Amino acid sequence: MNAPISNAPIRPQVQPRHDWTLEEIEALFDLPFTELVFQAAEVHRAWFDPTEVQLSQLLSVKTGGCPENCGYCSQSQHFKTSTVASKLMEAEAVIAAAAEAKAGGAQRFCMGAAWRDLKDRDLPRVAAMISGVKALGLETCATLGMLTPDQARALKAAGLDYYNHNLDTGPDYYDKVVTTRTYQDRLDTLAAVRDAGVSTCCGGIVGMGETRRDRAGLLQALATLPAHPDSLPINDLMPIPGTPLGDSDAVDGLEFVRMIAVARIVCPKAVVRLSAGREHMSRELQALCFLAGANSMFVGGKLLTTANPDKDTDAALMADLGLRPMTMA
């Protein structure tokens, strides 16, 4: 009699590497497409059940008016966009939104603020949001700009599970996108987060006019961190009219899949999130991303300020692909 088919991951002998060179990563990008996707799918199966997808939901708890000049962002005060600025939400309203997200199937709730950095005066309210969301039985995530080590420890004490802080792009392209904070600033915040014992969520964006080498540079920066990101979001640029990148050419879908596949190979234990941009992707393209090793996505009809597929659309996608929510540890 045949043994039952099991999706349980087989822990491989080969451990994640932290010494990837740019040339090695570029060579992965240059593989024939089907070979690259096959290799990534093998790595995916080694560490995860490939039928499971982690589901996160975002809420912008403080929108717009940001002093930073990230060229992709609807919330920077440097650019004239249609985003309407608002003050920091009350903790109760955030917790109510998180309860709704949980009822809709979200497993992690991510609170985003359009800040350069967290101000200590806002810490008590942010801490109340985090502990309230955690008490609902959701994983908590926040993305609030730069943090000091003390602030990272305070957020951990409030119940923060993950902190999202992206490197955005490769180090050589970075200053074409943002000049008000440095790559090193971002690495420093990530170190503070790690040292506080908070899991890291760190990735970037494709479609900002960067080259394949810049994309490889981003993945090299992530894969050579002292610890690989626990969650690794790959965003496809949501072009925002009024921003310097609002007219960017869309990245070819197959190139986007390559980015997901290489991320899966170089950071094998990371939960790779197919992040912003699903709104303009076909179901088939998303399926290829899941085949190439993506195992997370944002759910709920809105990201921070832009659209995401709605609940019913994603429920149908998951059912048609035979995917289910990731089993929580």
List of residues contacting ligand DTB (CB under 6 A): 58, 74, 112, 143, 164, 166, 203, 233, 235, 238, 275-276, 303-306
Q: Which one of 5-13, 47-55, 66-74, 310-318 is the stretch in contact with ligand SAM (CB under 6 A)?
A: 66-74
Rounded CA separation 87/80 (Å): 18
* Unique residue bearing structure tokens 């960017």: 248
Q: Which of 201, 202, 267, 289 is catalytic?
A: 201
Q: Does 91 bind ligand SAM (CB under 6 A)?
A: no
Is 267 designated active site? no
User: Least distance from C-beta 210 to ligand SF4, angstroms?
Assistant: 16
Residue 76 touches which of ligand DTB, ligand SAM, ligand SF4, none (CB < 5 to 8 A by kind)? ligand SF4
Q: What is the dihedral of CA 73, 77, 81, 85, to 10 degrees?
A: 100
Judged by CB under 6 A, the residue of 89, 237, 257, 326 near ligand SAM is: 237
* Unique residue bearing structure tokens 């087989």: 10
Residue 168 touches which of ligand SAM, ligand SF4, ligand DTB, none (CB < 5 to 8 A by kind)? ligand SAM
Residue at 232: amino acid letter: L
Is 73 designated active site? yes
Q: Does 112 bind ligand SAM (CB under 6 A)?
A: yes
Which residue number, 37 or 208, has a Cβ lying nearer to ligand SAM? 208
User: How far is the CA of 67 from the CAs of 32, 62, 70, 78, 89, in angstroms?
Assistant: 43, 13, 9, 7, 19
DSSP 8-class letter at 146: B
Q: Does 145 bind ligand SF4 (CB under 6 A)?
A: yes
Q: What is the DSSP string of 11-29?
A: --SSPPPS---HHHHHHHH
Q: Does 64 bind ligand SAM (CB under 6 A)?
A: no
Q: Shortest CA distance to 329 belongs to which of 92, 161, 131, 118? A: 161
Q: Which residues are catalytic?
A: 66, 70, 73, 110, 141, 201, 273
